[in-house]
Amino acid sequence: MNVRSAELVIQTRGDGDVVDLTEQVRSHVASCGIRAGLVTVFVVGSTAGITTIEYEPGLVADLGRAVERMAPAGASYEHDRRWGDGNGHSHIRASMLGPSLTVPLNDGRLSLGTWQQIVLVDFDTRPRTRTIVLHVLGE
């Protein structure tokens, strides 16, 4: 069993910015030489998440509207009252999406569907520098 790790540093705009990470993850997987196994993609921080989506403008907009319905920015959050930073909704949104994703590797390739991309969604209220940790495990 081999393990290869890397970090990606991504600049975001915040406020629901969706960033396609697929090619960067593919590139790292290709450089590892691991043919069968798993890759885990993990975002460090509590106001961003990782998922898959068909990365096209319509779905990106739909995702933003769906997230707004689930955890509205204008709602009252105890976190905001306690800390005064105005990003309680960002923490809730990120916790619903989750910080990581695991994708199987077959024959050295990510097992993604034709219209499936790996994305970072930054829910914080301001631009951020995000660290994405990649772990590739396998043979």
The pLDDT mean for the chain works out to 97
Domain definitions of the chain by residue range: 2-138
- Which pLDDT tens digit goes with each residue over 50-109? 999 999 999 999 999 999 999 999 999 999 999 999 999 999 999 999 999 999 999 999
Question: What's the confidence (pLDDT) of residue 7?
Answer: 98
**CATH, domain range 2-138:** 2.60.120.460
Concatenated DSSP letters of the chain: -EEEEEEEEEEE--TTEEEE-HHHHHHHHHHHT--SEEEEEEE-SSSEEEEEE--SHHHHHHHHHHHHHHS-TTS--HHHHHH--S-HHHHHHHHHH-SEEEEEEETTEE---TT-EEEEEE-SSS-EEEEEEEEEEE-
Question: What's the confidence (pLDDT) of residue 57?
Answer: 98
